[in-house]
Every structure is written in C-alpha cells, then in structure tokens.
Structure 1
Amino acid sequence: MHELVDRFLAETDFTPPFVLFGHSLGALTAFEVVRELAVQGRPLPERLIVSAYAAPHLPRTASNLHALPDASLARAIDERYGAIPQHVMADPELLALLLPAFRADFTLLETYRYRPGSPLTVPLEVFGGDRDAVSLEKLELWREHTTSDFRLHRFAGGHFYFRENPRALIEVLGAVLGV
C-alpha cells in the first residue's frame, strides 16, 4: 500500500479545491493518500469520503484470497461480494484478463498493515450499505481518524449499495459537496 501511495503521489499534482472518494479498497487507499499528503505538507482535500470499508486501525481477519488459484479466487470474490457479473464468470478468457487485477487488489488489501499516526484534519464522510458485512460499528470507528467534522451515511443495500440505488448516492454526494 505504501509503495502504491508513494508512486501515486509522485505522479499526481493536487490543485485545490478537491475531494477524495474511495470505495472499499479505494477507501483505504484514499485514506493513506491523505495521510501522506499531510506528512509531505501538500494541499489536503476539502473532505475525504470513504465507503464500505471498516476503520483502518481495526484488526483484520486473516484471509489469503490473493494466494488462491485463479478459479478459487474468482469464486470467492463472487460469493463474498457479488462483484463478478455472471457473463464474466462464464467466459474463461474474459475472467483470465480480469483476475490479475483482482489478485493485485486483494494482495494490497490483505497485506496492508495500519501504522498509527496523527488524525486527519479534514472533514470525513463515511458511507456504507445497511446489508454490507462492514457493520455500522466498524464504520463509526472512522471517527477516530479526524479532528474535523465526521458524518456517517447509511444506504439501503450491500457492499455495492450504489448499484442498487444510484440516485440515493448521488443525492447524498450532492448535499455533502454543496452542489
């Protein structure tokens, strides 16, 4: 994760105003990007929006999906997250094209180690689905990672709640961003 963040920041020039939004692994990545921006004394986002990911300091359950053989990895991702459309699961060539990206994502996720640090000074918005495995309590604990405003937003749905009702997400984003 830290190598990814370093490479990303070396290639990215953030010009205020900006907001960062990350969903699932993207939430963790966005959090680490903002932490590193602060360490480097670079401009910070107007707010950080994280979605469908438990507070980063919480212990993670041991999982080694990234080490599974391809077929087992695809099945596990589909069973846990419903993230792979059935037409992709049924097409071995298409699935073979996507599995390296999935494996890289799960390698990042499963090898991440939280490093304690100062809380962020940016407002933090936390989004989550009411039927996601990421509980309300685990989302609420993001509060510890900011000294600024904190708001928790729950949506009807699972891990990919925005697929079930995109309008609800758009409305909340509009309100949060003042547009």
Structure 2
Amino acid sequence: MKSILFCIPYGGSSATAFLQWKPMLEGHIELHPVEISGRGLRYDEQYNTDFPEMLNDLADQVKQYADKVPYAIFGHSMGAVLAYELYYRLVEEGYPAPVHLFISGRPAPNTIAGRKSLLSKMFGQLQHNIFRKNGGIPDEIAKRPELAKKFREVLQSDIRLMDTYSYKPKQDKIRCPVTIFSGMQDQISKDEIQAWESHTINTCNMIWMNGDHFFLETSRGELISIINSTIPVLSSR
C-alpha cells in the first residue's frame, strides 16, 4: 500500500515546485502537492484573504484522502507553518494522524510568536534574493517578465497572509513521528529549530542540510532520500 505525501508550497511558490520530486520518490510513496489559490493550476482564482482561509482550503483538499489512505505531510518555510496547523486541524476533526510530519526551514512557532515584523522581514529578504543565479527560482521564471511579475504578486500575497497568522499554544502535542530539516547556512538559529522538540511526544529527528534557506533545491537528492527512508513501507491490507 502506498502512502500519500502531501507537499505544501513555500512562500511565493506553487505545487509545481515539487513536480521534480516524483521520479525520485520510491514506489511506496505517492506524491500529492497541494495547490494554494491564485497560483499554478489555480492561477485564475482569487488569493486567500488571510491565514485561516488558506488553512481551510488546504484542509479541504487533504480531507478527501486522510481517512482513506495513510499519508505524510511536508511543508517548507510558510508551508511548514501550514503543515503544523494542518496536522492539528485534521486530528481535531477526527481524521487519522499522518504517518509522518516533515517540517522544513522554519523556527518552532513558540519561538517567534507575535513577531509578525520578523515574518515580513524574512519574506522581504527572500524577495530580494530569490532571483540569484544559484539556489533561487528557476531560470525560466527569472527570464520571463510575466512569470516574474506573477511570482512577486504571489510572494506579496503570502507576506500579507503570514502577517495574519497568530500562533496559539496547543493543548496536545504532536503524536506522530516528526522530522525537522534546516539549512546549516540558513539564518534560523539552532535553538529555534531544536525548540520543535517541545511540540512533540513522539520521535523528533533534527536533520541539518548543507545549504541556506533554499536547501530543498540545492540538496534535493539528499532530502528526498531521507524522506524515502523515513516514510514506512506499509503492507497491503
């Protein structure tokens, strides 16, 4: 039996950011990137107005499968916040917990609670650095003005959405196994990453990747290899 891997886009991206993962995932994993309104295949739809609306949208997509097949969730940066909140939304509504939760490129939520200006600054830095030659967005976007313009619009929308996010401590800790990825050259501190351990009662593995905030692109092979070996191979029912 295959497990579905739901991948949540990071700020400024869409589900297409994960399409190159498909041939690299092993046979027991089925890739399912979720799409956020206003980008990718949902290009013509309106952007979400706030974080709760975006979370509701993603939850509705995942609920179609969550009580039918085993699943894991991966989220990077903004997507990591959505993955964290999505876990609680699903569990609180009675859906089975994921077999694994992958959190990538994001401080633990309690370490930056209430610091909305920091979130804006983080995405602002991304906007200025994202078009660099190595480790930024694909060349086909940077070279096409209409795509670059759309990218900036999406990123600005995500900045506004993240500034509407308000972390609230949870009564229960995460029950499923968790893996935390962080770039060794990222600006997130070690303490902010290790603080994720306080949010779990199951195993919580910290993996330090070579690279900065975009290590999921520059160290993609290593990242996916870890995911392949972490999501369990399940026997057929």
TM-score range, shorter chain: 0.7 to 0.9
Which of 101, 105, 110 is 1:52 aligned to?
A: 105
Output the amino acid matched with 2:54: L
Q: 1:61 to 1:107 in 2, by over 3 A?
A: closer
Cα drift, residue 178 of structure 1: 4.1
Cα drift, residue 141 of structure 1: 0.6
- For residue 9 of structure 1, what is the aligned residue in structure 2? 59
State the number of aligned residues: 175
Cα drift, residue 16 of structure 1: 3.0
C-alpha distance in 1 between matches for 2:139 and 2:70: 40
Residues 1:103 and 2:153 are matched in the alignment: no
CA contact (8 A) 2:129 2:136 kept: no
Taking every aligned residue pair, what percent have the same amino acid on both sides?
27
Counterparts of 1:77-92 in structure 2, within 5 Å, are 78=131, 83-85=136-138, 88-89=141-142, 91-92=144-145
* Normalised TM-score (structure 1): 0.83
Q: Secondary structure at the match of 1:157?
A: coil
* Normalised TM-score (structure 2): 0.64
C-alpha distance in 2 between matches for 1:65 and 1:158: 16
C-alpha distance in 2 between matches for 1:157 and 1:166: 10
Output the amino acid matched with 2:59: L
Q: 1:89 to 1:10 in 2, by over 3 A?
A: closer
Residues 1:134 and 2:188 are matched in the alignment: yes
Q: 1:29 to 1:90 in 2, by over 3 A?
A: same
Structure ranking higher on relative contact order (CA contacts 8 Å, 6+ apart): 2
Output the amino acid matched with 1:166: R
Cα drift, residue 151 of structure 1: 0.8
> What do you get for the CA RMSD once the two structures are aligned?
2.8
Q: 1:119 to 1:163 in 2, by over 3 A?
A: same
Residues 1:30 and 2:83 are matched in the alignment: yes
- For residue 156 of structure 1, what is the aligned residue in structure 2? 210
Point out the structure with the larger helix share: 1
C-alpha distance in 2 between matches for 1:86 and 1:144: 39
Deviations 1:133-178 (A, max 9, x none): 1122111111111111111111111111132222211221122124
Q: 1:73 to 1:96 in 2, by over 3 A?
A: farther
Q: Secondary structure at the match of 2:182?
A: strand
Counterparts of 1:60-71 in structure 2, within 5 Å, are 60=115, 62-63=117-118, 64=120
Query: What are the ranges of 5 or more consecutive residues in structure 2 without an aligned counterpart?
Result: 1-50
Deviations 1:65-103 (A, max 9, x none): 69x8xxx98436558xx6445664564333222222111
Q: 1:19 to 1:164 in 2, by over 3 A?
A: same
Query: What are the ranges of 5 or more consecutive residues in structure 1 without an aligned counterpart?
Result: none
C-alpha distance in 1 between matches for 2:107 and 2:157: 20
Q: Secondary structure at the match of 1:35?
A: helix
